[in-house]
């Protein structure tokens, strides 16, 4: 029996909240606290009649650490699940420290204003030192290690699907299938079709920033950075078929590289259709992906935020999206002196997700692991003082929970490898 505060009430949050309400033996009480309280109230109205979990709602601006600390103290949850935006990670981590509760999120910190000179100085130093230029990285949150450790609190970072489940797959492969892992390829395939010429499956601002950035991967402990979308491969995905996929920078590469230094190469690929890429390139070329405010008729407008207002709300894609996602990790290495390769994956059907929780599979595959991460922290199985990613705990209870809560996985030996 525990009490969870959930911050944010968007696409991912909605799934995590549905799942907490299905799991009322663990989550006897939840608070949904977000910027627009009407969304929290609407979800409460829908779910309260069908769950034993007691739901409370509140309005909060999570950028305001003081107000958030006060709300956390007043509600006194066992943990806070941050499913707002990566921009709020640090303010929410600060509030959790001040109020003395555990912290869980699904995406690492990213600065909202990338022109802020203070942030830029740290960013540029990091680009030079580490060799990758993505706007997001773990350094900001890993810097809380000592504070969380001293306070006896757990911060569980990145418990979505990727990052999240993918890193649990890596820990599981290491525990059960390998003496030594040599390579990890993470393949994120969305074979869904929403029928729009262009839309993003989760927050457009965060999504478009991620996919328009240079790609990078780790090889022999060093980052190799490449121009955006310049490494392309084709792969046959069960339940989806053959798809083009492109090498991207992704946050679990950084965490796995630090925590499994014996792995010689870690790469991440995501599938994109030609139409998506053409739209994105065009929007980028005309400046619509920029985060720098421009003056429009006397008003400051951030182009990518204006674009977000034009694009379909990811939460509205659920009823119209058909097809499946298939997210895969391919491991190669050595077991008992022999070479081995293993493929661990989950296939998720957009329409099945919609039938269950009225969301498409991208929100579903993130919201379910968010609930699972929160459950393992509050029930003590994944509780230890400090700041951790999902590859740093025993993977077995998480893997069991994936099967139980809607994301069953399979392991296949000798898969087709990516060259
Ligand atoms: P949405 O934009 O749908 O939802 C974000 C929610 O956060 C909205 O309810 C929004 O409020 C709220 N919010 C934003 N700013 C604040 C603030 N200052 N204070 C309080 N609430 C705020 O995003 P998604 O649900 O698509 O994504 C949620 C998170 O999940 C993101 O961090 C994203 O990066 C992550 N993610 C992780 C994945 C993974 O596999 N690990 C995959 C996909 C997403 P309002 O309703 O007012 O707009």
Report the pLDDT value the prediction gives residue 205, as an integer from 0 to 100: 81
Position 282 pLDDT exceeds 90 = yes
- 88 Cα nearest atom in ligand 1: 18
Residues of the chain above pLDDT 90, percent: 88
Distances (CA, A) of 132 to 124, 128, 309: 10, 8, 30
Tell me if 9 CB under 6 Å of ligand 1.
Answer: yes
Tell me if 86 CB under 6 Å of ligand 1.
Answer: yes
Report the pLDDT value the prediction gives residue 361, as an integer from 0 to 100: 94
Residues 134/216, Cβ–Cβ less than 8 Å: yes
Distance from the CA of 175 to the center of ligand 1, in angstroms? 33
Tell me if 97 CB under 6 Å of ligand 1.
Answer: no
As a whole number of angstroms, the distance between CA 317 and CA 314 comes to: 5
Q: Which residues pair with 185 in a beta bridge?
A: 267, 330
Report the pLDDT value the prediction gives residue 114, as an integer from 0 to 100: 83
Tell me if 106 CB under 6 Å of ligand 1.
Answer: yes
User: Is the N-terminal amide bond of 163 cis, ω within 30° of 0?
Assistant: yes
Strands 338-349 and 324-335: antiparallel
- 161 Cα nearest atom in ligand 1: 40
Region 65-73: mean pLDDT is 98
- What's the pLDDT tens digit per position in 99-142? 999 999 999 999 988 888 999 999 999 999 999 998 889 999 99
Tell me if 60 CB under 6 Å of ligand 1.
Answer: yes
Tell me if 162 CB under 6 Å of ligand 1.
Answer: yes
> 370: which 2 tokens?
């968010």
At a CB cut-off of 8 Å and minimum separation 6, what does 361 contact?
A: 190, 192, 321, 324, 325, 348, 349, 350, 353
- 130-139, 204-213, 230-239, 374-383: least confident range: 204-213
Distances (CA, A) of 243 to 22, 205, 303, 325, 347: 35, 25, 31, 12, 15
Tell me if 359 CB under 6 Å of ligand 1.
Answer: no
Report the pLDDT value the prediction gives residue 86, as an integer from 0 to 100: 95
- 159 Cα nearest atom in ligand 1: 41
Position 331 pLDDT exceeds 90 = yes
As a whole number of angstroms, the distance between CA 175 and CA 65 comes to: 39
Distance from the CA of 83 to the center of ligand 1, in angstroms? 5
Distance from the CA of 313 to the center of ligand 1, in angstroms? 12
Tell me if 161 CB under 6 Å of ligand 1.
Answer: yes
Specify the long-range contacts of residues 353-359, CB closer than 8 Å, at least 24 apart: 353/15, 353/318, 354/318, 354/319, 354/321, 356/18, 356/406, 357/14, 357/15, 357/18, 357/19, 358/14, 358/318, 358/319, 359/11, 359/14, 359/15, 359/18, 359/315, 359/318
Residues 260/170, Cβ–Cβ less than 8 Å: yes
Q: How many helices (H) and strands (E) does the chain have?
A: 15, 18
Confidence band of 23 (pLDDT split at 50, 70, 90): very high
Rounded to 5°, the CA angle 207-209-215 comes to: 100
Distance from the CA of 325 to the center of ligand 1, in angstroms? 20
Q: Residue 319, Cβ neighbours under 10 Å: how many?
A: 12
Distance from the CA of 106 to the center of ligand 1, in angstroms? 10
């Amino acid at each position: 029996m525990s009490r969870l505060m959930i911050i944010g009430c968007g696409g991912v949050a909605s799934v995590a909240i549905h799942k907490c309400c299905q799991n009322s033996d663990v989550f006897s009480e939840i608070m949904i606290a977000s910027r627009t309280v009407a969304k929290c109230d609407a979800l409460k109205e829908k779910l309260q009649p069908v769950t034993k979990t007691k739901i409370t709602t509140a309005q909060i601006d999570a950028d305001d650490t003081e107000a958030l600390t006060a709300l956390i103290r007043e509600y006194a949850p066992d943990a806070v699940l941050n499913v707002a935006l990566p921009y709020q990670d640090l303010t929410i981590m600060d509030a959790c420290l001040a109020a003395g509760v555990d912290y869980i999120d699904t995406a690492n910190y990213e600065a909202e204003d990338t022109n802020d000179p203070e942030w830029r100085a740290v960013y540029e130093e990091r680009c030079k030192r580490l060799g990758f230029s993505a706007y997001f990285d773990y350094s900001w949150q890993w810097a809380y290690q000592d504070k969380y450790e001293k306070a006896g609190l757990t911060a569980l970072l990145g418990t979505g699907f990727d990052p999240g489940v993918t890193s649990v797959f890596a820990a599981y492969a290491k525990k059960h299938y390998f003496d030594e892992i040599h390579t990890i390829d993470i393949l994120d395939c969305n074979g869904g079709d929403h029928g729009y010429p262009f839309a993003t499956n989760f927050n457009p601002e965060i999504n478009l920033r991620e996919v328009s950035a240079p790609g990078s991967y780790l090889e022999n402990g060093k980052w190799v950075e490449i121009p955006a979308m310049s490494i392309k491969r084709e792969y046959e995905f069960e339940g989806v078929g053959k798809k083009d996929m492109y090498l991207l920078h992704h946050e679990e590469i950084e965490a796995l590289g630090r925590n499994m230094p014996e792995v010689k190469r870690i790469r991440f690929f995501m599938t994109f259709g030609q139409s998506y890429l053409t739209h994105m390139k065009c929007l980028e070329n005309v400046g619509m992906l920029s985060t720098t405010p421009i003056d429009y008729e006397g008003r400051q407008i951030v182009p990518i935020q204006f674009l977000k207002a034009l694009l379909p709300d990811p939460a509205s894609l659920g009823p119209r999206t058909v097809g499946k996602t298939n997210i895969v990790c391919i491991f190669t290495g050595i077991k008992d002196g022999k070479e081995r390769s293993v493929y661990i994956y989950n296939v998720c059907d957009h329409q099945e997700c919609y039938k269950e929780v009225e969301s498409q599979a991208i929100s579903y595959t993130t919201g379910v692991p968010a609930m699972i991460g929160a459950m393992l922290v509050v029930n003590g199985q994944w509780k230890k003082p400090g700041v951790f990613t999902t590859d740093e705990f025993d993977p077995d209870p998480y893997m069991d929970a994936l099967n139980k809560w809607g994301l069953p996985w399979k392991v296949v030996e000798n898969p087709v490898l990516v060259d």
